[in-house]
Amino acid sequence: MTTQLQPVELGSVIAPTVAGRSPARMAWKRITRDKVTMVALVVTVLFLVVALVAPALTALTGWGPITPDGRAIDPDTGNFPRGALGGISLTHLLGVEPGTGYDLFARIVYGLRTSLFVGFASAVLSTVAGVVAGLAAGYFGGWVDSVLSRIMDVMLAFPQLLFIIALTPVIQNALQTNSHGGTDENLRLGVLVVNIAIFAWAYTARLVRGQVLSLREREFVDAARLMSAGRRHILFRQLLPNLWAPILISFALAVPQNITTEAALSYLGVGVIPPNPDWGSLLSDASQFFLQDPAYLFVPGVLLLVLVLALNLLGDGVRDALDPRAHRG
């Protein structure tokens, strides 16, 4: 019989370009076409830049986050800012803090640093932990999966805020080494990051586990086993590349979530300790003067809203770009 190969299937007839379009490049193309996501991206980048160059910005205005301006507040009114809208002027772009006379612009740009640092650091931590736990649970199955899944269930069922409120001072005191009794700010930030991550990794782990459960049944995993591939190869070379989309999505959505949690914790008094600048404690402070000085509450409130909204929309955009079939109304 004639066994000539039919050349009809040769790819040469399909497209003249040879360069492969990688999934990442296609995703980026979809992001750039999505206006909402692009706006969110621009806003996010703007926030990031402002946070990065915060010292330069305050140097320009001449007011640091904890440099009081005695002339901007009026002792006769109970140290409320002089002028309208909480003392907004050319010297103090966003006004000053009632009582202390700190420059609000400086406090907000420095507070942004805190928010973004805690948000990103805890998201990185929880994502790494969640991916490792999810990979292990999904791939190994059996008792490993049972144990990890039960731990995840417990973590997800925990009253997170309540627990962190109770835990933070305890951990802080246990780790605190300085003898003079004050609270170490860097340590507090670290404790915050770890605490938030402890209650966030289970979301990622669960997501990754589910994906791994379906991926490990695919035949390319069997093919890898037939090549005598070890566990590490199968987990990190075969499965992990297929998980970048859900991992990136859960990371992108964890950042704004963690920023909100951090703000809430600071608002409740277990986050960043005043007078160190932070949006949550700013809001908490401002709520006391809401009637007399609404601008004080308004500015950080709106900024927090814009930041979290931009990060969330960016996360949604990333999800749509990486997984174009789902989530399209």
Partner 1 sequence: MSTTQPIREPQAAPAPGGKLLEVTGLTKHFPIKTGVVFQRQIGAVRAVDGIDFSVGAGESLGLVGESGCGKSTTGRLITRLLEPTAGSIVFDGEDITHKPAVKLRQARKNVQMIFQDPYSSLNPRHTVGTIIETPMRLNGIEPPQGLKKRAQELLETVGLNPEHYNRYPSEFSGGQRQRIGIARALALRPKLIVADEPVSALDVSIQAQVVNLLQDLQREFGIAFVFIAHDLAVVRHFSERVAVMYLGRIVEIADRETLYARPRHPYTRALLSAVPEADPDAVERRERIRLTGDVPSPIDPPSGCRFRTRCPKFAQVLSEDERTACMDQEPELTDRAGGNPVACHYPETVELS
Q: How many CB atoms lie within 10 A of CB 298?
A: 16
The minimum distance between CB 235 and partner 1, in angstroms, equals 13
In the complex, what is the shortest distance from the CB of residue 72 to partner 1, in angstroms, rounded to a whole number? 57
DSSP secondary structure letter of residue 74: E
- Which residues contribute to the site for partner 1 (CB under 8 A)? 3-12, 14, 18-23, 218-220, 222-229, 233, 237-238, 241-242, 244
Which of 3, 178 has the CB closer to partner 1?
Answer: 3
Nearer to partner 1, 25 or 33 (CB): 25
Closer CB to partner 1, residue 23 or residue 62?
23
DSSP notation for 305-324: HHHHHHHHHHHHHHHHHH-T
Question: CB of 146: closest distance to partner 1 in angstroms?
Answer: 8
Looking at the Cβ atoms of 129 and 229, the one nearer to partner 1 is 229
Report the alpha-carbon distance of residue 130 to residue 80 in Å, rounded: 47
Q: Report how far residue 306's alpha carbon sits from residue 44's, in angstroms, rounded to the nearest whole number.
A: 9
Q: Which of 257, 236, 314, 216 is nearest to 126 (CA)?
A: 257
**Nearest distance in Å: CB 18, partner 1:** 5
Q: Is the dihedral of CA 225, 229, 235, 241 positive or negative?
A: negative
Q: What's the min distance (Å) between Cβ of 154 and partner 1?
A: 16
Residue 134 CA to its chain's centroid (Å): 20
H or E segment at 182? none
Q: CB atoms < 10 A from the CB of 33, how many? A: 10
Complex with partner 1: residue 244 or 290, whichever CB lies closer? 244
